[in-house]
Amino acid sequence: MTGTTPSSADEIDALFRGAIRSGQLGDGERLPTVRQTARDFCVAQATAAKAYKSLERDGLIVTRTAAGTRVAPGASRAPQSVIEHARALAEASEEELITLGDTIAILRAVWRTDATQMPT
Amino acid sequence: MTGTTPSSADEIDALFRGAIRSGQLGDGERLPTVRQTARDFCVAQATAAKAYKSLERDGLIVTRTAAGTRVAPGASRAPQSVIEHARALAEASEEELITLGDTIAILRAVWRTDATQMPT
DNA sequence: AATCTTGTGCTACTTTTACAGCACAATGCT
DNA sequence: AGCATTGTGCTGTAAAAGTAGCACAAGATT
């Protein structure tokens, strides 16, 4: 799970969000404590807590004060088709030596410009 | 082109980067002036300029001082396979009502976790 | 040559974000 | 009941990013 080196709350948010929705973190599975996450990513507790808050607002996790934080029931795993397409895109990009950043930018660009428009 | 409402330099960077690499902005095509972009996105000139600088550092655009900014020759358009896979992913996500943010998070999660690892 | 356009480079100010460090409340565990 | 764990909520401080406004230099345009 810990591979990159995020710094901001948004990046930590995105990291867990991705882990949950891709199925790497299963339903009901426990997340590291806020303090642990803060240590892992070398950020202040407040920053890690902020990320968790954001995930909770979106219903991805459930926190009980002394019992820790767990993946919300049903929040895990986006539909298989999405995950498979994401895998396919990642594979294609790496094969063509396209950066993750560029790949995301391309994805943003074609978002809402695909099914409706078919140029050329 | 102007559809979303970015605010930071990074978002503007990503927007143009995506437009270029997806082929929406063709080779040699001219970008709006820095001032125009600043107006379009309601940001300071310095912020828009910063985004352009970043794109130039990556060789995606070429700026000549009074002639404006143009897409660098050869910078446009990532390989077709990548674009097609991006389109497919976008389509799948929208069909399943998955957010763009979540889709990006999933993509990040499976990045470098596909071809090499095949769990289950 | 004169003028307009455009990217760049300032300065000073404001806002946002993250930091450190601690204290508290809720809860599980023994 | 007592204690450790864990999320939360402070405080004040520091760093990063954005803003506004202007001035300048390099070219293009006429």
Chain segment B54-69, per-residue pLDDT in tens: 999 999 999 999 999 9
In a domain, B104, yes or no: yes
User: Residue A54 pLDDT more than 90?
Assistant: yes
Q: Which domain holds residue A59?
A: 9-71
In a domain, B2, yes or no: no
Considering the domain architecture, whether residues B13 and B67 belong to the same structural domain is answered as yes
Distance between CA atoms of B33 and B43, rounded to whole angstroms?
13
Q: Which residue is nearest nucleotide C16, judged by alpha carbon to C1' distance? A: B8
Structure tokens at B53: 């600088």
Mean pLDDT, rounded, for A24-31: 96
Distance between CA atoms of B92 and B105, rounded to whole angstroms?
15
Report the mean per-residue pLDDT for chain A. 91
**Nucleotides on strand C with an atom closer than 7 A to protein CB?**
4-11, 17-22, 25-28
The nucleotide lying nearest B35 (C-alpha to C1') is C6
Considering the domain architecture, whether residues A66 and A87 belong to the same structural domain is answered as no
pLDDT for B61: 98
pLDDT for B3: 42
Considering the domain architecture, whether residues B67 and B84 belong to the same structural domain is answered as no
Considering the domain architecture, whether residues B92 and B62 belong to the same structural domain is answered as no
B114 CB burial (10 A radius; 0-12, 13-18, 19+): middle
Task: Dump pLDDT digits (tens) for B35-51.
Answer: 999 999 999 999 999 99
In a domain, A116, yes or no: no
Cβ–Cβ below 8 Å for A21 and B115: no
Cβ–Cβ below 8 Å for B83 and A106: yes
Considering the domain architecture, whether residues A65 and A26 belong to the same structural domain is answered as yes
Question: Measured between beta carbons, which residues in chain B are less than 8 angstroms from residue A18?
Answer: 105-109
Q: How many domains does chain A have?
A: 2
The model's pTM is 0.89
Maximum alpha-carbon separation in chain B: 58
